[in-house]
Amino acid sequence: MAEKQNEMPTAQAEVLPLVLGKKQSRFKRTLKECKRHSLLLVMAGFVLVWYFIFLYGPMYGLLMAFKDFSFRKGVFGSNWKMDKKGNLDLFANFTRMFKDHAFLRAFRNTFVISGLKLLIGFPVPIVFALLLNEIRNRRYKKLVQTVSYLPYFISWIVLSGIMRQILNLEYGLYGYLVRYLGFPDINFLTYRPTFRGLLVISSIWRNFGWSSIIYLAALGGIDGQLYEAAEIDGAGRWKKAIHITLPGLAPVIVIQLILQVGTIVGDDFNQIFNLYGVPVYEVADVIGTYTYRQSFQDSTDFSYSTAVGLMQNTLSFVLIIITNWITSKFSEYGIW
């Protein structure tokens, strides 16, 4: 026993310099890589500073959700939320939220509209990228791709004006079709049954070309030898797409799906705000437009608006976590 006890410190003394030497060499390699890429680190530093100042810095404003905010007192000076009896009630705004019929309507519409956009719009850029990948004429391919993502660079303010002009029943393109070709006399911007469809179609039209770029980049990374081997085995275009192209796109599709699910609770405020009106509030009012009205139109209750935004972002985060867990469990792909 005494001999074993004497041997153990000796063994530790021999191993310890090796471990320290590995750590020191690893530190030296890291330091060397930092010096080598110093310019890139400086550029990344500016980005991190921007994120901290404009995205993480303002997060102290979340305190407003639990306070009775006053412009005069500021965020930190405002009193905490109290009930009618004078007792501390930090979650009063959240309780009010789920008792408000207008909020519940906006919450429901947000899920329905975003769900339709996800269900119908998510496969469109994938299919478009697959079809575009089959075009052999490079000039025609570039022309189609450019035309497809051009609407993405036009703001919703301009696009909504274009759509209003087209759908106008008096002097718009659709008005001429109604008068001369017998199309249904429908004002799509004020007719409830068609307004959600208009939102989904216009969103797909604006975004599918831009969204297809990432899938085209993934298609370019697939090994061409796989297609050559499939041709030797007698596989046609359809079989190559099923057995080579789609499996090659699977990681990108899964990641994009996770991120898209996280935006279900979110809403395209700019699109809806510039297209909707009072006649379609029942089917088009979403959390973003509801929060805007609570902050700047119907009232100036910024504490309540902050609580709504905090709930919305928290739910989006939870959806991303759940979706990533499900995809990681049933496949080998995920964000982490």
Q: Per-residue confidence of the chain (336 residues) as pLDDT tens digits? A: 444 444 445 545 554 454 445 556 777 788 888 888 888 888 988 999 998 898 888 888 888 888 888 888 888 888 888 877 778 888 888 888 888 898 999 999 999 999 999 999 999 999 999 888 888 888 888 899 889 988 999 899 999 999 988 888 888 888 888 888 888 888 888 888 889 999 999 999 999 999 899 998 888 888 888 888 888 888 887 888 888 888 888 888 888 888 888 888 877 888 998 888 888 889 989 998 888 888 887 667 788 888 888 888 888 888 888 888 888 877 776 666
At 198, the amino acid letter reads L
Closest among 121, 91, 135, 102 to 205, alpha carbons compared:
121
pLDDT, tens digit (0-9, with 9 covering 90-100), for 90-102: 888 888 888 889 8
CA distances from 106 to 100, 276, 310 (A): 10, 13, 15
What's the CATH architecture for 91-330? Answer: Orthogonal Bundle (1.10)
- Please, is 323 exposed, middle or buried when counting C-beta atoms within 10 Å of its C-beta (0-12, 13-18, 19+)? buried
Residues 6+ away with beta carbon under 8 Å from 16: none
DSSP letter for each residue of 150-171: GGGGS-HHHHHHHHHHHH-TTT
Whats the size of the chain, residue-wise? Answer: 336
Question: By three-state DSSP, how is residue 82 classified?
Answer: strand
Sign of CA dihedral 266, 271, 276, 280: negative
Amino acid sitting at position 53:
I
pTM of the model: 0.79
SS3 content of the chain, % helix, strand, coil (to 5): 80, 5, 20
Cα–Cα distance, 300 to 305 (Å, whole number): 9
pLDDT tens column, 219-243: 888 888 888 888 888 888 788 888 8
Q: What are phi and psi of 181, to 5 degrees?
A: -120, 0
**How many of the other CB atoms lie within 10 Å of CB of 105?**
16
Q: Domain coordinates of the chain in residue numbers?
A: 91-330
Give DSSP secondary structure letters for 58-79.
Answer: GGGGGGGGGEEEETTTHHHHEE
